[in-house]
Amino acid sequence: MQTADVVVIGGGIIGCSIAYHLKKKGAGRVVLVERRGIGEETSSACDGGVNLQTKAPGPALRLAKRSLQLYEGLAEELDYEIHFERCGGMVMADSPELIGLLEQSAAEQAAAGVEVTILNGQEARRLEPVLSQQVAAVTYCPGDGRVNPIRTTIGYARAAGRLGAEILTNTAVTGIRTKHNEVIGVETSRGMIQTGTVINACGVYAPEIGRMVGLDLPIRPRKGNIIVTEQVAPCLAHNLICARYIALKHNPDLVRTSQDPSMRLGVNLFLEQTHEGNLIFGSNREWAGFDKSTSYEILCAICRYAVRFAPFLAQMRVIRSFAGLRPYCEGGPILGPVDGIQGFVMAAGHEGDGIAMAPITGEILSDFVMSGTVSEEIRPFLFSRFAPRQPQGSSDGREG
The mean pLDDT of the chain is 94
pLDDT digits (tens, 9 = 90+) for 266-276: 899 999 999 99
pLDDT value, residue 189: 98
Q: Quick one: average pLDDT of 71-78?
A: 98
Sequential DSSP letters for 82-138: ---B---EEEEE-SHHHHHHHHHHHHHHHHTT---EEEEHHHHHHH-TT--TT--EE
Q: Which of 120-124, 191-195, 251-255, 355-359 has the lowest mean pLDDT?
A: 251-255
Q: How many CB atoms lie within 10 A of CB 5?
A: 14
In this predicted structure, the answer to whether residue 396 has a pLDDT above a threshold of 60 is: no
CA atoms of 245 and 284, how far apart (whole Å): 8
Q: Quick one: average pLDDT of 171-181?
A: 98
CA atoms of 332 and 50, how far apart (whole Å): 16
Per-residue confidence band for 338, with pLDDT thresholds at 50, 70 and 90: very high
Domains of the chain: 2-45+150-217+331-385 (3.50.50.60), 89-142+220-328 (3.30.9.10)
Q: Could you tell me how many residues make up the chain?
A: 400
- pTM for the model stands at 0.95
pLDDT digits (tens, 9 = 90+) for 85-125: 999 999 999 988 889 889 998 999 999 999 999 999 999 99
- In sequence order, which residues have a C-beta less than 8 Å from that of residue 239 and are 6 or more positions away? 49, 51, 87, 88, 89, 90, 144, 145, 146, 270, 271, 272
pLDDT value, residue 398: 52
